[in-house]
């Protein structure tokens, strides 16, 4: 009985030692199976996404209850207006840490409404299904605007709706609208 156990244990030990010894070879063969351009593209994509998220977080963000305050919503369910507007695609909202955050430029506190041009463009750019991409478009400086302004800056200034529409409707000015390949 002991002899059988020793044989089984030695075969397990030998198998484990073999795996440990082949670890570097396995890692190298796995690494060689991934094309270098795929790694380079992934790194470039990660850098772009990081830069875009940094631009997004440089703008003030509201929680759902803050949105209710700006819209002067007095019902008991304080998350309801933001949730409803987000689900319709009228506003951009993204979930972080179990709660949704909303860029403040989307709201006009003087009228207690979503800026109409923002809702229009969010619908056009499909904010409901790509909130990060659409938010990145809004908050990133546009080469079509002076002084490194973003479409969100124009929206917050007010009176710039036609310029925002022009940028959003022009495929070269709004890469998010270009078909994905």
Position 75 scores a pLDDT of 79
Q: Are residues 13 and 71 in the same domain?
A: no
- Report which of 103, 125, 123 is spatially closest to residue 176, judged by C-alpha positions: 125
Q: Are residues 10 and 66 in the same domain?
A: no
Q: Are residues 46 and 65 in the same domain?
A: no
Which of helix, strand or coil describes residue 176? helix
Position 171 scores a pLDDT of 60
Assess contact for 99 and 63: CB atoms under 8 A.
Answer: yes
Which of helix, strand or coil describes residue 17? helix
Q: Are residues 32 and 92 in the same domain?
A: no
> Could you tell me the residue range of the domain that residue 113 belongs to?
59-177
Q: Are residues 75 and 24 in the same domain?
A: no
Position 179 scores a pLDDT of 44
Structural domain count, the chain: 2
pLDDT tens digit string along 10-40? Answer: 666 666 556 566 656 655 666 566 677 666 7
Q: Are residues 72 and 41 in the same domain?
A: no
Position 181 scores a pLDDT of 36
Q: Are residues 39 and 100 in the same domain?
A: no
Q: Are residues 103 and 134 in the same domain?
A: yes
Beta-sheet strand order (sheet of 61-63): 61-63, 99-103, 94-96
Q: Are residues 26 and 47 in the same domain?
A: yes
pLDDT tens digit string along 90-110? Answer: 999 989 899 999 999 999 999
79-106 as b/e: b if 16+ CB within 10 A: bebbeebbeebbbbbbeeeeebbbbbbb
- CA pair distance 127, 137, nearest whole angstrom: 10
Q: Which portions of the chain are predicted below pLDDT 50? A: 5, 178-181
Q: Are residues 100 and 69 in the same domain?
A: yes
């Amino acid at each position: 009985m002991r002899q059988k156990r020793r044989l089984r244990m030695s075969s397990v030990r030998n198998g484990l030692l073999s795996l440990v010894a082949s670890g570097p070879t396995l890692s190298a063969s796995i690494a060689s199976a991934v094309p270098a351009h795929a790694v380079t593209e992934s790194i470039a994509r990660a850098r772009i996404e990081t830069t875009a998220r940094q631009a997004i977080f440089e703008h003030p963000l509201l929680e759902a209850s803050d949105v209710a305050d700006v819209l002067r919503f007095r019902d008991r369910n304080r998350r309801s207006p933001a949730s409803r507007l987000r689900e319709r695609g009228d506003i951009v909202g993204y979930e972080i840490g179990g709660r949704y955050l909303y860029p403040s430029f989307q709201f006009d506190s003087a009228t207690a409404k979503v800026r109409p041009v923002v809702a229009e463009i969010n619908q056009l750019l499909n904010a409901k299904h790509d909130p990060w991409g659409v938010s990145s478009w809004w908050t990133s400086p546009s080469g079509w605007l002076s002084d490194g302004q973003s479409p969100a800056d124009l929206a917050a200034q007010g009176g710039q709706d036609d310029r925002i529409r022009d940028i959003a409707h022009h495929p070269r000015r709004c890469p998010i609208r270009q078909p994905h390949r």
